[in-house]
Amino acid sequence: MAVHPILCFGEALIDLHADGFDDHGFAVRFVPFAGGAPANVAVAAARLGGAARFAGMLGRDRFGDFLLDSLQQANVGTDDIVRTEAANSALAFVTLDARGERSFSFYRDNSADLLFRPAHFRADTFRDVAVFHVCSNSMTDPALAGTTREGMQRAHGVGALVSFDLNLRPALWPRDIDPRPLLWPALHLADVVKLSAEEFAWLAVDGEQAALDRLWLGRTRLVVVTDGGQPLRWFHPDAEGELPCYPVEVVDSTAAGDAFVGGLLCCLAELEAGAERLDHLVTELPRLHAMLRFAAACGALTVTRQGSFAAMPRGDEVLAFMEQQA
C-alpha cells in the first residue's frame, strides 16, 4: 500500500455506544470505543496496510490515554499528537436504531482537540506527506478552522493531495449559524471532496450543478457522493459517473464513510497522486472505478461490525469480500 504517509488532522474522541435499553427506552450502559472521523480514517488506512499518521490534540486524561493507545495499537503514527492539561478529551454518545443508523450527542465544549494551533505542527510534519485529510468537524471553532486551512495550505506547499470529508454534524455547530459560508473556504482548498447524498443535498442549496461549479472554482478535481447501499456517484469538471455498491446487512454505520475515505486515500497515496493525477484518472476510468469499488467494499465491510476503530477491515479481508461479491 501507500509508501508516503496519509496524514489525518482533527478530532479523536470517545464514542460511547448504547448497550441495552430499559423498559422506558433509556440506555442501560454505554461502551467506550475510540473514534473521531479523521482518526477513524487514519486507522482505516493503517489497517489496509497504508502508512497513516494522525495529528491533533488529546487531553492528558484517561480518555486521552485510551485514544493514544488505540491509535498506536492500530499502527497509526502518533508523533503529531499533542497532549494538554488545559482541557479534557471529547465524548460522543452514540445510539443506534434497529437499522444500525446513528444518532449523536456530543460533549465537546472546550475540549482538547479545539486547542490545536499551527505552532503545534512539527517542523517536518508535512515533509513526506502524500495525502492530508480533514473534515468539517475541525471548522466549528474559528481558531481551529484557521489551523485546518493552514494545514491544507502547507500540504499543498509540499505537493500533497488534500482531502475533505464534509461529515456534517449539525449538533457541533451553534444553532444560530449557517455552516455553509464557513465551510466553502476549506472546500476550495480540497483536491478531493467526499459527501454523503444527504450532505450533497444540504450543500447544494441552488442545485447540484451550481454546487459542483462552485467547487470547480477552487482546487477540487474529484467529488465522490456516497449513499449507503445505493450507487455512489463521482464528479470531475470534465466527466462524471455512477457505480453500484455492495449490499450488506447493516449492524452499525458509525464509521462507514471514514472506512470508505481511508480505502480511497490509500489507493491515491499508493499512486503518489498529486492534484494533476486526478485529471489523468478520469481518462483511465477502469483504474478510477477500481479505486472507488475498493473504497466501497471497505465501507460495506465496516457496517457489518460495531464500533469505529474496531470495525475497520484489513486489506486481505476487503479483497476476499470483493472476490465473494464478484
CATH number of 6-325: 3.50.50.60, 1.10.1740.10, 3.40.1190.20, 1.10.10.10?
A: 3.40.1190.20
Q: Record the pTM.
A: 0.93
Mean pLDDT, range 125-147, rounded to an integer: 96
Q: Mean pLDDT over all residues of the chain?
A: 92
> Average pLDDT of 15-37?
82
pLDDT of residue 273: 60
Show me where the domains of the chain are located: 6-325
pLDDT at 277: 84
Q: How far is CA 41 from CA 149, 309, 311, in A?
A: 19, 9, 12
Amino acid 26: pLDDT: 75
pLDDT at 3 (0 to 100): 62
Residue 314 backbone dihedrals phi, psi, to 5 degrees = -80, 160
Which tens digits make up the pLDDT trace of 84-119?
A: 999 999 998 877 665 555 567 787 888 999 999 999
Sheet containing 161-165: give its strands across.
77-84, 52-59, 6-9, 131-135, 161-165, 192-196, 222-227, 230-236, 239-243
8's enclosing H/E stretch is strand 6-9
- 148: enclosing H helix or E strand: helix 142-157
Q: Which residues lie below 8 Å from residue 118, measured CB to CB, with a gap of 6+?
A: 146, 147, 150, 151
Helices (H) and strands (E) counted in the chain, each on its own, are 10, 13
3-state class (DSSP) for residue 24: coil
What span, in angstroms and rounded, lies between the C-alpha atoms of 47 and 315?
Answer: 7
Question: What is the per-residue pLDDT across 199-239, written as a single tens digit (0 to 9) for each?
Answer: 999 999 999 999 999 999 999 999 999 998 899 999 999 99
